[in-house]
Structure 1
């Protein structure tokens, strides 16, 4: 593991932020390794943007310490922290050319006009916009404007690049394209990035690690796969990709292992720390199989069915509650009010710790 004091690292040590009597951030502690992209993810009001603003120096912590590259920056102003920020609105100057926009921070830092514009052209080439320096922002697409904002931040050569909801102004297809570009650029150049979003799919696609926040605290942190396949709570299971969270009973199986029992349904438990007794299962919609009712299945009745081209979405009433199901077997749509049997794939089912 890389030392947390290496260039480009970030450390939060018991950081708190209060606005009057309201505690927005509570005892927040985490490390970000150099050269990684870490996403702060959570619903509105969870504290992720406040956390990013404290890292940027735009908000002051009420308590605790923030370190960048091993240096305590808690009380330093934003212009002394060696970070650059890409804002949700891009914040490009409409009357300046693309090259002048990218060069603006360099000029403000004392570089000559010639040096700044030369560096700006190099920055535009990094993000695939070579030859765009003379255009105005209004002559670019939304995705191109976003890349200009990234280039403007990168030419300052910060230890850490901060991205605040950078794709929220783009349509769905363009979001997928630009998030791929940002991730490829980060991996190619190896800079440290802290990325804020409320979009779970976006976080899964771009991140080395995800810090999920809830009510000003860390609900769970880990790799995208860890959070998706081993959620620590029902909140994480439902927030990181959709999940059906249902009650179950963990009991000893015939082979000596453990299994989850849901009515007539049995499912082996892979969690090493699992214990017998009442628990919850997080079941992904695509982990549910539908068939005719029968032994070893959970009985259900189709409440709704929606054909969406490459899959069908069902809502199924069961003794455990209503389940959301994604079925790729599109040849036949199971009619509403029909009785069905429910089974589970091996993957896509996780035991939630008590």
Structure 2
């Protein structure tokens, strides 16, 4: 692999007629990292990837790859390779021929193309399977052929557009691990598009969450999950209960909050002074205990056993809460009055 390249978007805008899909996008992706563009349908993540690939051109702004301005260059003049959602394998060609195809189109001699294609298949764990056509391969194997075809071109940046969406849930978990292991082993730069939060958390060095053509928040997976900046991020990066609370004091890096008569210490973040605030609480950060009288309590309105955990809905003075409790051996029935408390992790003040 050649030296991985950086990616820079400088004030990029993309419009389709009167509709603006991307608004003033400025992001930087460091060489050798895997960065995921994450967001719901229509947020602009695929348009951003297509502009990076050269399949769309910005209406304004600049795009740089490895320090080179590629804003208006066509796709074939950019040092990137793309793994498509559909894999786009030629059904009549063998796995080896599929991997070698791009090399041949780039002018590489047949013997060298074959040798590099065999190395590419070995790289993704498909050594000895080069003579099979796509129909003779599983979905995960076809996906790895598509990755190998992209990698043998030795791009500065590898682009992956929803690469696991055609796989079943169990295979997705395995293949995303393979992609992450391969990226870390080879050190290439990768830009990965998905709408699946678990997938993004599992593979990424950094996640860029987009909403309505803008960056809503970016950061390490743990930061986005544990310290969401907005209600949208809190709910999109795994479910969250968003509640109103009162900040009653600041003590160093912590804030003291009040919910009913319950006082809780949480990370301060950007809270400057006491006042009304909003709180994001993960379902597994809530502790329920049977109680008729509690500083902050409620009543269970629904309980469901899901094998490894129990899901509850609890009606409180602060609104309805969704709770995930691993204590399956003591399932509490509906109508049970409970006290509500919070673990030290999985609870954060929302700053926007």
* 1:259–1:268 Cα contact (<8 Å) kept: yes
Q: Are residue 170 (structure 1) and residue 183 (structure 2) matched?
A: no
What whole-Å deviation, never above 9, does each CA across 1:293-345 have from its counterpart, x for those lacking one?
26654211111111111110111111111111000111111111111111000
| Aligned match of 1:23 | 20
1:249-288 to 2 correspondences below 5 Å: 249-252=246-249, 258-274=255-271, 275-288=273-286
Structure 1 Cα separation of the partners of residues 349 and 169 of structure 2 = 32
| Aligned match of 2:36 | 39
| Aligned match of 1:345 | 343
Q: Which shifted more, 29-38 or 113-122? A: 113-122
Question: Helix, strand or coil for the counterpart of 1:210?
Answer: strand
Shift of 1:241: 1.2
* 1:7–1:68 Cα contact (<8 Å) kept: no
Shift of 1:257: 5.9
| Aligned match of 2:324 | 326
Q: Are residue 108 (structure 1) and residue 105 (structure 2) matched?
A: yes
Shift of 1:258: 3.0
What whole-Å deviation, never above 9, does each CA across 1:262-288 have from its counterpart, x for those lacking one?
112211132243121111000000000
- Of residues 125, 128, 132, the one that matches 1:128 is 125
Question: Helix, strand or coil for the counterpart of 2:345?
Answer: coil
Structure 1 Cα separation of the partners of residues 278 and 7 of structure 2 = 35
Structure 1 Cα separation of the partners of residues 254 and 27 of structure 2 = 35
- Of residues 98, 106, 113, the one that matches 2:95 is 98
Structure 2 Cα separation of the partners of residues 342 and 214 of structure 1 = 33
TM-score of the pair, normalised by structure 1 = 0.96
Q: Which segments of 5 or more consecutive residues in structure 1 lack a partner in the other structure?
A: 1-5
CA RMSD of aligned residues (A): 1.5
Shift of 1:229: 1.1
Structure 2 Cα separation of the partners of residues 214 and 250 of structure 1 = 29
- Of residues 66, 71, 77, the one that matches 2:68 is 71
Q: Which segments of 5 or more consecutive residues in structure 2 lack a partner in the other structure?
A: none
Q: Which shifted more, 333-342 or 246-255? A: 246-255
Distance 1:154 1:236, change over 3 A: same
| Aligned match of 1:210 | 207
- Of residues 222, 225, 233, the one that matches 2:222 is 225
* 2:253–2:269 Cα contact (<8 Å) kept: no
Question: Helix, strand or coil for the counterpart of 1:133?
Answer: coil
Q: Are residue 316 (structure 1) and residue 325 (structure 2) matched?
A: no
What whole-Å deviation, never above 9, does each CA across 1:92-114 have from its counterpart, x for those lacking one?
00000100000010011111222
What whole-Å deviation, never above 9, does each CA across 1:77-136 have from its counterpart, x for those lacking one?
001110000000000000001000000100111112221111100000000000011111
Question: Helix, strand or coil for the counterpart of 1:301?
Answer: strand
* 2:4–2:189 Cα contact (<8 Å) kept: no
Q: Are residue 241 (structure 1) and residue 224 (structure 2) matched?
A: no
* 1:7–1:70 Cα contact (<8 Å) kept: no
TM-score of the pair, normalised by structure 2 = 0.97
1:174-189 to 2 correspondences below 5 Å: 174-189=171-186
* 2:13–2:59 Cα contact (<8 Å) kept: yes
Q: Which shifted more, 248-257 or 79-88? A: 248-257
Q: Are residue 153 (structure 1) and residue 150 (structure 2) matched?
A: yes
Question: Helix, strand or coil for the counterpart of 1:331?
Answer: helix
Question: Helix, strand or coil for the counterpart of 1:350?
Answer: strand
